[in-house]
Amino acid sequence: MEKRFSLHTAERDQMIDITSIIEEWIREQGVENGIVIVSSLHTTAGITVNENADPDVKKDMLMRLDEVYPWEHPKDRHGEGNTAAHLKTSTVGHAQTLIISNGNLVLGTWQGIYFCEFDGPRKREFLVKII
């Protein structure tokens, strides 16, 4: 089972909580146990699992990624000017694999799944596959 989801990002760098979208789809499928893979279909947007209670964590993560990978660097050769977005995606990763147990996505108390935009705003897609 798999489904492609679309979303629109509003900022150049943004972390969007997609946990409830994935949880709802898993419930609709009636799967009791398995794994779910969540994958970004872009080279400048990733997927991560991180804290979903304090919004400052997202702000801090984006700020620190900007410090490590500044948007404009004089040595960048990529013609589109978004080398930083590619590096951020490679660092965060394009996909996450999670466990489904007793019909529920297994996450820690403070964990959420985030679509990480690094070159927005844009229309984006991610794929969710249950095995």
pLDDT in tens, 47-84: 999 999 999 999 999 999 999 998 776 665 665 668 88
Q: Which domain holds residue 37?
A: 2-130
Q: Please report the sign of the dihedral spanned by the C-alpha atoms of residue 12, residue 13, residue 15, residue 18.
A: positive
Closest CA to 13 of 78, 66, 80: 66
Confidence of residue 98 (pLDDT cuts 50, 70, 90): very high
The predicted pLDDT at position 76 comes to 59
% of residues, the chain, pLDDT over 90: 86
CATH number at residue 56: 2.60.120.460
Q: How many domains does the chain have?
A: 1
DSSP E strands in 29-76: the ranges are 34-40, 45-51
- Count Cβ atoms below 10 Å from residue 2 Cβ, excluding itself: 12
